[in-house]
Amino acid sequence: MNLSFFDQFMSPKLLGIPLILLAMTFPALLLPSPTNRWVTNRLSTLQLWFIHLATKQLMLPLNKGGHKWALILTSLLMLLLMINLLGLLPYTFTPTTQLSMNMALAFPLWLATLLMGLRNQPTMSLGHLLPEGTPTPLIPALILIETTSLLIRPLALGVRLTANLTAGHLLIQLISTATLTLLPILPTVSALTSLILLLLTILEIAVAMIQAYVFTLLLSLYLQENI
């Protein structure tokens, strides 16, 4: 019984070939395609408005040099957002519940921001490792602590996204299983648990959107420190 709860996090395979790449590319089909018409439908207009709003919020703390990252950060936000939301549908697979995928997204982008800072302003980037006015006896310990916190950033990004989505999926499956089990025995309790399941689903939709935004926002803040 316990093993079946975690079967939803196993990457689906067809003829021994993992389908995780297909699951990652499918959300791109939902994005609006360029058109030469003056007036588009309401869905495309709403999507473009959301993309413009998200790009504006992500680029707000950055200077003009960081605006070169607008396409990368906005594309990452839309990818994570659609994968997280599509993963809440029945009989679907959520690639962002895999720590390996989240680390593959977090580590290269974090490393790119770090290397950019070391190349453009090495003194200021290294200065973040030692706060100003630190007492001399505490300098070695603080440098070690700040270095550790710097190196753990990509791991924190990946684990945060994985843990939040995995916990939400497990809660939904546990409560839905309890609802179906209690239905023939205690219909009243089953109705209450179904109401809890509905509220939890709404919460998970919000969590899926917030976690995609937090992941991208933290990357933009890391970029802000290094430009």
pLDDT in tens, 85-142: 888 888 778 888 888 889 999 999 999 998 888 888 877 777 777 777 778 787 788 8
Q: Which residues contact 139 (CB under 8 A, 6 or more apart)?
A: 130
Q: Give the pLDDT confidence of 151-166 residue by residue, as tens digits.
A: 999 999 999 999 999 9
Q: Which residues contact 74 (CB under 8 A, 6 or more apart)?
A: 51, 54, 55, 58
Q: Give the pLDDT confidence of 164-215 residue by residue, as tens digits.
A: 999 888 888 889 888 888 888 888 888 899 999 899 999 999 999 999 999 9
3-state secondary structure string across the chain = CHHHHCHHHCCCEECCEECHHHHHHHHHHHCCCCCCCCCCCHHHHHHHHHHHHHHHHHHCCCCHHHHHHHHHHHHHHHHHHHHHHHCCCCCCCCHHHCHHHHHHHHHHHHHHHHHHHHHHCHHHHHHCCCCCCCCHHHHHHHHHHHHHHHHCHHHHHHHHHHHHHHHHHHHHHHHHHHHHHHCCCCHHHHHHHHHHHHHHHHHHHHHHHHHHHHHHHHHHHHHHHCC
Task: Say what the pLDDT of residue 203 is.
Answer: 93
Sorting pLDDT into bands at 50, 70 and 90, what band is 7? Answer: low
Sorting pLDDT into bands at 50, 70 and 90, what band is 1? Answer: very low
Distance CA 11, CA 13 (A): 6
Q: In this prediction, what percent of the chain has a pLDDT beyond 70?
A: 88
Distance CA 160, CA 184 (A): 38
**Higher-confidence position of 21 and 167:** 167
Q: What is the pTM of this model?
A: 0.82
Average pLDDT, the chain: 83
